Structure 1
């Protein structure tokens, strides 16, 4: 049960039947209503789509969560419903885990651990994590991929493309073809745990001199393409610190900011999924001392020119330099921009960059919940795009947008008060594209990774 798992036709066919029947049923209802000129109850349809995706608890659900952060990629009613989905896959039973471990490490796999807990410590959309102990006594986190995940991902991505193509025909405010390509490419990368191991090594190098940020070590001898063993980092869930005093919450938020922005401005990489479950907080003397970065499946490597575009957009907004802003959008990959589309993009850009432009101590968004963060601005952008679009969303936008919104949600949960302007300017101080390109080349080569094509 190793290579024959890979893209098995029977597994894929079963997934098509399960996912395709549910998604196509809702799609047929949408098309039928449009053809007959009937009004569609968007809230009811959103609930139906959410029920389909939430019931699957798999790759398609993960795709839906990513899609929900992009204005007008799906109708706003759907975005709100999809944003509430959680990774909550039912765990594999012990007999199944044993078979999977034999497939990855051989029949004597248990002898390679001093201890291996039968009940998983966490279960997500692509795999589950077990606590274990190495033969030398080191605590371990062992992530084991569910079977037939490649088949499931390919089946789900096919249905995902169907949903997007329908939406493009019915409400063509944006062209999501590049979005689909980007999400597909990153999701396929997440299936390769050897790549995730290299991502972790990359982050260990990049953040080695950053205080308060811990990256687990990788145990290569206990890892395969579908099995990843790393050191277990002890810590508490970030939300457990919501009741702490402001100094503690600010310390955590400051560290989160550096953990996300510094890798981006130094070597052009981001952690594309700042989900609350991907971080824990470690303590010293009863006080929060820093954060543990736990998951490296969703890491995006950008061409150096794109990083320059992100900083140029900041400078253009800061100086109200219209030409500089438009040039930055073009570096991001937006094409054929007309005045009205630029104005719509400016709404979103000023929302994302707003706290970075505001030179004062502040919350990331006053009086807004994490669930509603960006919702008002997304609605305004959607209205403008529906009137003046369509616009093609470049693939680099997808995870940049997702990560920025996710990080903002973390700051809202912590109710942190920081000078985000000072933090960002410290991150970009002395920035030169040439230097970033040199650092990126060295860092990627050291981790065994290839740069993204420009």
Structure 2
């Protein structure tokens, strides 16, 4: 029998408080053992972390909402939690047990102000998809049009701030945050701001209209339109626009030329949003995209959108140009403008910048097609992460551009999973040559 969902703020608080107490107790036990001279070996420490991580991931998955979304972001960024936690939180990207249907029906009727049968000819009971802050159901309007209905889980928006405070406390008391307090404040502040936007489906409806307008001249990029008459703050009804999930993009239905064309389209869409529109789709994981054998790219879920200041985009553009040109003095300056480098610290050793440039430049270094399927950039990055500690005081999480990094990482993994072969160097150069 499925557990009754926790939808009240009080219930969520106690659930998170219990998790926090347990994690803090386990961490205190580890500290006590070290104090008594019983130093854990690496395997034992990893096992403890894995146990704590599993407990946190299970609780976040059950509660959904803000805390689950933070877990998903943490699993993608992998730079402020131990590896065992990033690994455990990865499952939050894939697993989101559905909310009972009667809870969904109540939410729809409350938000639309009418009985379900009056609003829809039918609403399919089995979810089309379940995510962190809501789930999606297929439905049909009385006009006969097939649609999808995105329904926010009850209680998620009211408890967002208290959820985030509890999660932060759990991570802190568990000895898991590897960043200075100021950086943690900035990071959680940015996440909180994006979450409040994402919890407002009326805001998402505006974002969808904005991005449909951005891409209106590209017939190969589809974004489902909003059905305003059946949408509100916690319910969003959209046109049904279907395509294949990334796992269905197989050689039987997609030849290499089509995959390469899709990859080129993904890159151009990302670069347009960053360099031309100054507004990016901030949640670029595989579940938010679909594909068709004619090369069409379909984009979903515009709850998490980051509008970028022109000066941030310009600093980012100049930093990329400097890196490509191996002008590390200029790169250092532009990273300060970007808010990624602590200005009061002396210049960073050029060899350090050169090391990262040589790893990250590979897809853009020649005019020959780069094989993303065989790319090991992520492995090379992981192998060099220990070098970060040497310059820990020189850099800080660039809050303004953290979603740019997330955008690029998400698209890299899609290119890799799709198996794209493409030369993006000349394409990138065209974007960098035109400012604003």
Q: How many angstroms does 1:346 deviate by?
A: 6.1
* Aligned residue runs from structure 1 range 1-400, under 5 A: 11-34=8-31, 36-37=33-34, 38-39=39-40, 41-56=44-59, 57=61, 58=64, 59-70=66-77, 72-163=79-170, 165=172, 171-172=178-179, 175-243=183-251, 244-282=254-292, 287-334=293-340, 335-336=342-343, 337-340=345-348, 347-348=355-356, 351-364=359-372, 366-368=374-376, 374-381=378-385, 383-390=386-393, 391-400=395-404
Q: Secondary structure at the match of 1:85?
A: helix
Q: Judge conservation of contact 1:215–1:294 (CA < 8 Å) in 2.
A: yes
Distance across 1 between alignment mates of 2:351 and 2:199: 38
Distance across 2 between alignment mates of 1:330 and 1:54: 35
1:86-107 CA distance string (max 9 Å, x none): 3432223332222111101123
Do the aligned partners of residues 239 and 378 (structure 1) sit closer, same or farther apart at CA in structure 2, a change above 3 Å counting? same
Do the aligned partners of residues 289 and 204 (structure 1) sit closer, same or farther apart at CA in structure 2, a change above 3 Å counting? same
Distance across 1 between alignment mates of 2:158 and 2:357: 37
- Per the normalisation by structure 2, the TM-score is 0.86
Unmatched segments (≥5 aa) in structure 1 = 1-8, 433-454
Query: Among residues 385, 403, 406, which one is paired with 2:407 in the alignment?
Result: 403
Q: Judge conservation of contact 2:157–2:199 (CA < 8 Å) in 1.
A: yes
Count of residues paired in the alignment:
415
Distance across 1 between alignment mates of 2:149 and 2:283: 20
Which of 61-70 and 167-176 deviates more?
167-176
Which of 74-83 and 345-354 deviates more?
345-354
Q: How many angstroms does 1:252 deviate by?
A: 1.6
Q: Judge conservation of contact 2:243–2:298 (CA < 8 Å) in 1.
A: yes
Distance across 1 between alignment mates of 2:142 and 2:313: 43
Distance across 1 between alignment mates of 2:268 and 2:33: 53
Do the aligned partners of residues 48 and 61 (structure 1) sit closer, same or farther apart at CA in structure 2, a change above 3 Å counting? farther
Distance across 1 between alignment mates of 2:175 and 2:27: 13
Distance across 2 between alignment mates of 1:234 and 1:357: 36
Q: How many angstroms does 1:388 deviate by?
A: 3.7
1:152-184 CA distance string (max 9 Å, x none): 433331133225545889745894332121112
1:24-77 CA distance string (max 9 Å, x none): 322332244235524373422332233223323123232122123335311233
Q: Secondary structure at the match of 1:150?
A: coil
Q: Secondary structure at the match of 1:229?
A: strand
The equivalent residue for 1:435 is none
Distance across 2 between alignment mates of 1:255 and 1:115: 36
1:246-289 CA distance string (max 9 Å, x none): 1121122112112222111111111112111111113xxxx333
Distance across 1 between alignment mates of 2:349 and 2:117: 59
Which of 411-420 and 390-399 deviates more?
390-399
Q: Secondary structure at the match of 2:58?
A: helix
Q: How many angstroms does 1:210 deviate by?
A: 2.1
| Greater relative contact order (CA < 8 Å, ≥ 6 in sequence) | 1
Q: Judge conservation of contact 1:317–1:350 (CA < 8 Å) in 2.
A: no
Q: Judge conservation of contact 1:178–1:392 (CA < 8 Å) in 2.
A: no
Q: Secondary structure at the match of 1:205?
A: helix
Which of 43-52 and 227-236 deviates more?
43-52
Do the aligned partners of residues 384 and 365 (structure 1) sit closer, same or farther apart at CA in structure 2, a change above 3 Å counting? farther
Distance across 2 between alignment mates of 1:194 and 1:431: 32
Distance across 2 between alignment mates of 1:111 and 1:422: 54
Distance across 1 between alignment mates of 2:358 and 2:145: 47
Q: Secondary structure at the match of 2:364?
A: helix
Q: Judge conservation of contact 1:313–1:324 (CA < 8 Å) in 2.
A: yes
